[in-house]
Amino acid sequence: MRDHPVLIDVNGEPRLFVFPDWMTGGDCTGKTKKNQRCRNVAWDQGQVAGYETVFVGDRMVEVYGPLPAAVGWRHYSQRCHLHHTPDAQAYCDPEWVPFDLERHHDLTSDPTLFAIPGLQLLPPLRPFGLALRAHFSPAERQQLAGILTEGL
């Protein structure tokens, strides 16, 4: 069980959610014929998207996704392969929560030059990155990063 931010496309707009068990999207929220909660995992077909780094304010968040619409719906509704149809009854609400910068601060990291997409291929910038961290504010670092990644 591990919380993880997942980027889901909701009607063409990517939105960030935190799932209690991101590997499977949580347990199914469907109701069985015996009136109990389904014990299947919501998603069991392996990785279908890549990992992205997104900025939320001045923080970096490593996310899984964005997920394609059909897969996103399965995560979003937290349903297994048996209970993902609209006529399947719900046993409970999904357990994900919308990503919140304050609540999920531990899932974020400070932006550093060597964590910015595209810059990993350059020679190590650690001393430079550490100097930047020590001497510039997060807003200044982000501005610098923007300048350095222009045109990548």
List residues near Zn ion by CB under 5 A: 28, 30, 38, 40, 80, 82-83
Contact assessment for residue 5 and residue 99, using Cβ atoms and an 8 Å cutoff: yes
Question: Whole-angstrom Cα distance, residue 91 to residue 30?
Answer: 5
Comparing CB distances to Zn ion, the nearer of 5 and 94 is 94
Smallest gap, in angstroms, from Cβ of residue 78 to Zn ion?
A: 9
Smallest gap, in angstroms, from Cβ of residue 43 to Zn ion?
A: 11
| Token pair in block for residue 11 | 């009607």
Smallest gap, in angstroms, from Cβ of residue 137 to Zn ion?
A: 48
Contact assessment for residue 61 and residue 53, using Cβ atoms and an 8 Å cutoff: yes
Comparing CB distances to Zn ion, the nearer of 82 and 122 is 82
Comparing CB distances to Zn ion, the nearer of 30 and 72 is 30
Residue 123: strand, helix, or coil: coil
